[in-house]
Amino acid sequence: MTAPPLLDAHLVADRGAFHLDARLRIGAGEVVALLGPNGAGKTTALRALAGLHPLSAGHLTLDGVDLDRPDRRVWTPPERRPVGVVFQDYLLFPHLSALDNVAFGPRRRGADRRAARARARGWLDRVGLGGQARHKPRQLSGGQAQRVALARALAVEPTLLLLDEPLAALDARTRLDTRAELQRHLGAHPGATLLVTHDPLDALVLADRLVIVEQGRVVQEGDAATVTARPRTDYVARLVGLNLHRGHADGHAVTVGGLTLTTADTVRGDAFVAFPPAAVALHPTRPDGSPRNVWPATVTGVQRHGDNLRVQLAGPVAVAADVTPAAAAHLGLRPGQPVWAAVKAAETRAYPA
């Protein structure tokens, strides 16, 4: 992007002992997913953007306007920010019907009662709750409430849309519909969107770019392809389902712990090496043949994982391997059993750390 991003923020904030220090830029029409483990500071960042948590330093510029600038004592109250929020635990007004909850924002932003209600009705229909318009929040199931919250935030058509786990409480079917709906809306609207989510699928489907925070710091960011192909932390690796190890590379060889892995990529210096659990083949005895990376390991755990079994292995490097139930039966896997692990060089990826 050559144009300045719609949102340009450097969020520095404290919450008890927790310290957040994260830079965020989101372009017009761009959807950024904020991912991170529990307690990483995602909600705190979102609250800071909404004006609900003060910045202690840094800045927040939206559409060229400085909303927050602690050094210059500039601060904009939440109600004056063109920001819409879907909260993690709904926060639907209990005394208002679903319709009036959704109409609340348009009403406050100047629409008359009738227009606000008409707009709200449209949004309720779009999230599939046209029939529940008169229901009070306590008469809605968890998922219905979440969808009303979504409609309420979308109804103000904000420049910056913030969503804290907007799809978490939806059932698989509704989730698909609402995700598609959300995707359509996000595609249509010119503002910036920040989506806090735990679900990598939501992030991959909805977001143009991923920002990953851990312990208040941005640890990785980039588009889905880069992040999924080249995770840089354990958390990201598990998120995208890869084994990740950090070691020292010298051309096609990366030394990790006591093991040297041969990789297809060429790197030098500190490097990561990543490979999917499905790429790890298990053998009862040392295998011959093409796999260049072979090492003895010990089974420490076996869990069902989808149609396959995921096997945890200890050894020179700790890795996870996915095997089919048939293969598992053949190997007779149980904790403590020694096996040989093999990974083809072609299935590994190495990149600078």
Partner 1 sequence: MTRPARRRQRVPLPLLLPAGLGLLFLVLPLAGLLVRTPWTTLPRRLAQPGVLTALRLSLETATAATLLCVALGVPLAWLLARVEFPGRRLVRALVTVPLVLPPVVGGVALLLVFGRRGLLGSWLDATFGVTLPFTTAGVVLAEAFVAMPFLVIAVEGALRGADARYEEAAATLGAGRWTTFTRVTLPLVAPGVAAGAVLCWARALGEFGATITFAGNYPGRTQTMPLAVYLALETDVQAAIVLSLVLLTVSVAILAGLRDRWVGVT
Ligand X SMILES: Nc1ncnc2c1ncn2[C@@H]1O[C@H](COP(=O)(O)OP(=O)(O)OP(=O)(O)O)[C@@H](O)[C@H]1O
**What residue ranges bind partner 1 (CB under 8 A)?**
50-54, 75, 77-79, 81, 83-85, 87, 91, 93-96, 104-105, 108-109, 138, 152-153, 156
The end-to-end CA distance of the chain, in Å, is 26
Q: How far apart are CA 36 and CA 217, in angstroms?
A: 10
Cα–Cα distance for residue pair 178/234, rounded to 1 Å? 30
Which of 2, 3, 16, 285 touches ligand X by CB under 6 A? 16
- Of 98, 140, 149, 279, the residue at the interface with a copy of itself (CB under 8 A) is 140
CB contact set of 204 (below 8 Å; sequence gap of 6+): 224, 228
Tokens linked to 311: 């096997």
Applying CB under 8 A, does 175 fall inside the site for a copy of itself? yes
Q: Tell me the sheet residues that pair with 75.
A: 68
Q: Confirm or reject binding of residue 142 to Mg ion (CB under 5 A).
A: yes
Q: Report in angstroms how near the CB of residue 300 gets to Mg ion at its nearest.
A: 31
Instruction: Provide the CB-side half-sphere exposure for 67 (13 A, CA).
Output: 28
β-partners of residue 134 are none
Q: What are phi and psi of 318, to 5 degrees?
A: -90, 120
Piece of the chain touching Mg ion by CB under 5 A; list 13-21, 36-44, 67-75, 345-353: 36-44
Query: Are 319 and 295 in contact, with CB atoms under 8 Å apart?
Result: no
- If one asks whether residue 39 binds Mg ion (CB under 5 A), the answer comes out as no
Tokens 């450097």 — which residue?
A: 10
Q: Which of residues 32-61 bind ligand X (CB under 6 A)?
A: 36, 38-44
Near ligand X by CB under 6 A, which window of 136-144, 225-233, 243-251, 343-351? Answer: 136-144
Closer to Mg ion by Cβ: residue 43 or 228: 43
Task: Select from 15-23, 200-208, 275-283, 299-307 the region that touches ligand X (CB under 6 A).
Answer: 15-23
How many Cα atoms within 13 Å fall on the side-chain side of residue 322? 13
* Among 57, 74, 180, 264, interactor with a copy of itself by CB under 8 A: 180
Among 293, 207, 219, smallest CA distance to 254 is for 293
Q: Is 298 in the site for ligand X (CB under 6 A)?
A: no
The yes or no reply on residue 305 touching a copy of itself (CB under 8 A) is yes
Nearer to a copy of itself, 9 or 239 (CB): 239
Alpha-carbon gap, residue 98 to 84, rounded angstroms: 17
- Residue 306 partner contact from a copy of itself, partner 1, Mg ion, none using kind-dependent CB cut-offs of 5 to 8 Å: a copy of itself
Among 89, 112, 125, 171, contact with ligand X (rule: CB under 6 A)? 171
Half-sphere exposure of 283 (CA within 13 A, CB side): 16
Q: Which residues bind Mg ion (CB under 5 A)?
A: 43, 142
Q: Which residues bind ligand X (CB under 6 A)?
A: 15-16, 18, 36, 38-44, 138-144, 171
